[in-house]
């Protein structure tokens, strides 16, 4: 039986880093599905940031960012200090504890592009973040840089909703974030990309949590029904509830990806442990008031991996070095990522209230590999079941998503 890698609790720093990844629906409509436990936890943790700053009116004018300037991008083919040009080596940990190192090389001349929007990470003391990268760099490393294996990576900085704004929403009942400014950044970055860099190339849209919300908004406002729609190889708004329209069968204006190599489609899911499905009040994967199910596309099925997840898990706890993940007894991981073949599998499940990606841990008590993984959100030592495995939505399916994009890209090239 391998060691249990889960930490006994979560530091305030970790809570602050992650709790703002709340679907925008709940921030705007009052969070009525949040339990008192979550709300109390948020208030206690976020109150440590100090008093809320002055509100910013959503009607206030703001200066537009110039996305022709490389300083406004995290990842960009023309950027000298590209945040996607990072160490992505992975230690593969077999069930018997044996390890090998998987090297990583980006594609030399990929035929397609990927456009990524990151989740809530900003601790800036303002309702909207500034344009100076901080934890955004870590998040890009964890969630997006690996896509450079199959596409040119584009990831703009944007003035996202910050943790401070969430504090104001919960404690004061107000939303000080300038949502128009936030979306203007995404739209301006997208339009600059189309004008200066696309040249008719296919593009994959990738986003997680707040970033996934922005992907859906971008589809609605700037893509569906425009010439740009023909460029979309696929959209991946992950870790957010994306409902399926009962009349059209589409989600965010695109049909679900159902076959290998299918293009012009959407992949979305929220992840929960098989042993801990979403409670009725969870805000991830919930059924809409109109009865619309949340979309769940299983990346481990679409990739042809027979429901086996090709996860790339973080091998380093960058927030709290004292609690490092353990993948096998006596094994030290010196690469940024670890992979655990055949340990994780996934199926889409639907209950009366939710649709979600159910994650099974296929552990063997007799082998030296760890029998579990990190990924739960804990507060004061207690797992917050409403969140599921939200913190590692992207990590769990990363290898599968890369394989999916590779096959989509090949089909895209063949039809162009």
The per-residue pLDDT for 211 is: 97
H/E stretch holding 43 reads helix 36-47
pLDDT, tens digit, for every residue of 298-307?
999 999 999 9
Instruction: Quickly count: other Cβ atoms within 10 Å of residue 321's Cβ.
Output: 8
Instruction: Quickly count: other Cβ atoms within 10 Å of residue 289's Cβ.
Output: 6
Per-residue pLDDT at 38 exceeds 80:
no
Lowest mean pLDDT among 205-219, 322-336, 354-368, 385-399: 322-336
pTM of the full structure:
0.86
Per-residue pLDDT at 12 exceeds 90:
no
The per-residue pLDDT for 377 is: 87
Instruction: Quickly count: other Cβ atoms within 10 Å of residue 331's Cβ.
Output: 18
Per-residue pLDDT at 266 exceeds 50:
yes
Q: Which residues contact 403 (CB under 8 A, 6 or more apart)?
A: 303, 304, 305, 310
Task: Look at 77 and 10; give whichever has higher pLDDT.
Answer: 77
SS3 242: coil
The sign one gets for the Cα dihedral 23, 27, 33, 36 is positive
Query: Whole-angstrom Cα distance, residue 20 to residue 276?
Result: 22
Residue 200, class by beta-carbon neighbours within 10 Å (0-12 exposed, 13-18 middle, 19+ buried)? Answer: exposed
Query: Whole-angstrom Cα distance, residue 66 to residue 62?
Result: 13
Nearest residue to 193 (alpha-carbon basis) of 246, 155, 146, 138: 155
Per-residue pLDDT at 83 exceeds 80:
yes
């Amino acid at each position: 039986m391998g060691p249990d890698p889960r930490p006994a609790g979560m530091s305030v720093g970790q809570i602050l880093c992650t709790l703002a990844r709340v679907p925008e629906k709940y921030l705007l409509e009052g969070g009525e599905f949040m339990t008192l436990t979550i709300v109390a936890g948020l208030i206690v943790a976020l109150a440590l940031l100090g008093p809320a700053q002055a509100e910013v009116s959503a009607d206030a004018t703001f200066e537009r960012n110039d996305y022709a300037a490389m300083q406004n991008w995290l990842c960009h083919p023309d950027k000298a200090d590209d945040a996607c040009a990072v160490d992505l080596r992975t230690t593969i940990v077999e069930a018997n504890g044996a390890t090998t190192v998987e090297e990583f090389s980006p594609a030399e001349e990929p035929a397609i592009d990927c456009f990524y929007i990151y989740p809530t990470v900003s601790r800036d003391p303002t309702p909207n973040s500034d344009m100076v990268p901080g934890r955004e760099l870590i998040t890009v490393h964890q969630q997006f840089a690996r896509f450079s294996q199959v596409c040119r990576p584009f990831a703009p900085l944007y003035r996202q909703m910050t943790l401070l704004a969430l504090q104001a929403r919960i404690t004061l009942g107000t939303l000080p974030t300038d949502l128009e400014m936030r979306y203007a950044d995404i739209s301006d970055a997208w339009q600059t990309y189309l004008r200066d860099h696309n040249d008719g190339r296919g593009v994959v849209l990738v986003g997680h949590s707040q970033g996934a919300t922005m992907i859906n908004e971008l589809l609605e406002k700037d893509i569906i029904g425009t010439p740009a729609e023909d460029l979309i190889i696929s959209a991946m708004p992950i870790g957010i509830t994306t409902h399926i329209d009962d009349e059209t069968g589409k989600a965010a204006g695109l049909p679900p990806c159902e076959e290998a190599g299918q293009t012009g489609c959407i992949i979305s899911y929220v992840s929960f442990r098989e042993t801990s499905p979403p409670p009725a009040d969870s805000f991830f994967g919930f059924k809409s008031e109109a009865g619309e199910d949340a979309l769940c596309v299983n990346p481990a099925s679409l990739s042809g991996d027979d429901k086996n997840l090709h996860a790339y898990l973080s091998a380093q706890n960058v927030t709290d070095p004292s609690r490092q993940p353990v993948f096998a007894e006596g094994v030290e991981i010196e690469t940024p990522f670890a992979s655990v073949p055949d340990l994780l599998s996934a199926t889409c499940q639907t209950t009366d209230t939710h649709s979600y990606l159910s994650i099974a841990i296929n552990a063997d008590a007799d082998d030296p590999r760890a029998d579990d993984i990190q990924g739960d959100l804990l507060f004061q030592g207690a797992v917050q079941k409403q969140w599921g495995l939200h913190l590692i939505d992207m990590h769990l399916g990363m290898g599968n998503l890369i394989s999916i994009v590779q096959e989509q890209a090949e089909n895209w090239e063949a039809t162009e």
